Amino acid sequence: MKKRRDSFLIAVLQTMRPRQWSKNLFVGLGLLFTLDRPHPPADFARIAVAFVLFCILSGSVYFINDIRDAERDRRHPAKSRRPIASGRLSEGAAWVVAFVLLVVGIGGSFALDPVFGEISLAYLLLLTAYSFLIKEIVILDVMTIAAGFVLRAVAGTAAIRVTISPWLLICTVLLALFLGLSKRRGELVGLREEASNHRSSLEHYTVPFLDQLINITSAATIIAYALYTFFSDTGARHPYMMATLPFVIYGIFRYLLLVQKNAGNESPELILLSDKPLLIDIALWALTAGLIVSLG
């Protein structure tokens, strides 16, 4: 009995995609870039709760997505091992877990803050629409992914009632587009002629087209971040913010190198979480930005 319960819990956790939770760290951008203002300890706790709630909400969307795509996933070399596609978790049980996660996630979001709850609900509706329709629409699919990152960042500011520069939101959009396009490239290269059978939008993408879009968004991200460090209110208050630019440039260049070297890897989060130089670079960027904002 205990073994069956443990197996069920492991299947639930796997379906919630813990490796994807790093995306929800974007809820902390508002706190990171307002460290020059007084923050009570409760704000740090609220950001931690916001992170957990977004992990729950994104987990519920993954359940819905995997239920809907179970048949298609069974024909995928990697996705066929997912709990629902492989049969380790029944669709009936998956619907129950998805409903529980939705209730807990939305209820907890409104309990934390009404505005945070509204943004979280918008995020949930957007990602649900993505799972059922938008992910099959070329270009709009990656734009929707980018919108999800922006909603995470905005939700985090609502949780602690601060505002962050529109420049930073633009950087978030561009960085998310860059990551989303890299993921599509990995899918296209990895699945080759079978790509359109697993996601119809891939039929309309080509590697040269995606490379061109990746080049555009990576360059735009660097330029937007550079302008943010110079011309935003945060940049004006903290001139040394420009010292964080080399970390951003290195991070994007390093990621581009890894995308090219690991052609066929469909999971940007795996590249991100497994490359030590990239992890060190992100940590140094966050530490440097935090110190400049809080001490400058």
Q: Give the span between the Cα atoms of 66 and 68, in whole angstroms.
A: 5
Residue 3, pLDDT above cutoff 70: no
The token pair that represents 248 in the structure block: 């951003």
The residue-averaged pLDDT of 256-277 equals 74
pTM, two decimal places = 0.86
The residue-averaged pLDDT of 14-43 equals 89
What does the mean pLDDT of the chain come to? 88
Q: Give the span between the Cα atoms of 129 and 117, in whole angstroms.
A: 18
**pLDDT tens sequence across 81-101:** 889 988 888 889 999 999 999
The residue-averaged pLDDT of 273-285 equals 91
Q: Which residue has the higher pLDDT, 235 or 218?
A: 218
Residue 148, pLDDT above cutoff 70: yes
Per mean pLDDT, which range of 126-140, 155-169, 172-186, 265-279 is the poorest? 265-279
Residue 76, pLDDT above cutoff 90: no
Give pLDDT, residue 6.
67
**pLDDT tens sequence across 107-129:** 999 999 999 999 999 999 999 99
Give pLDDT, residue 1.
62
Residue 256 and residue 214 in contact, taking contact as beta carbons nearer than 8 Å: yes
Residue 2, pLDDT above cutoff 70: no
Per mean pLDDT, which range of 43-47, 86-90, 173-177, 280-284 is the poorest? 86-90
Give pLDDT, residue 86.
87
Percentage of residues in the chain with pLDDT exceeding 70? Answer: 92
Residue 136, pLDDT above cutoff 60: yes
Phi first, then psi: what are they for 242, rounded to 5°? -65, -20
Residue 231, pLDDT above cutoff 80: yes
CA 160 to chain centre: 20
* Residue 5 pLDDT class (50, 70, 90 cuts): low
Q: What sign does the CA torsion over 257, 260, 264, 266 have?
A: positive
Give pLDDT, residue 265.
55
Give pLDDT, residue 282.
93
Give pLDDT, residue 210.
92
DSSP one-letter string for the chain: -HHHHHHHHHHHHHHT-GGGGGGGGGGGHHHHTTTTS---HHHHHHHHHHHHHHHHHHHHHHHHHHHHTHHHHTTSTTGGGSHHHHTSS-HHHHHHHHHHHHHHHHHHHHHH-HHHHHHHHHHHHHHHHHHHTGGGSTTHHHHHHHHHHHHHHHHHHHHHT----HHHHHHHHHHHHHHHHHHHHHHHHHHGGGHHHH-GGGGG--HHHHHHHHHHHHHHHHHHHHHHHHHSHHHHH-GGGGGGHHHHHHHHHHHHHHHHHTTT---HHHHHHH-HHHHHHHHHHHHHHHHHHHH-
**pLDDT tens sequence across 162-194:** 987 888 889 999 999 998 898 888 888 876 655
The residue-averaged pLDDT of 131-155 equals 91
Give pLDDT, residue 80.
83
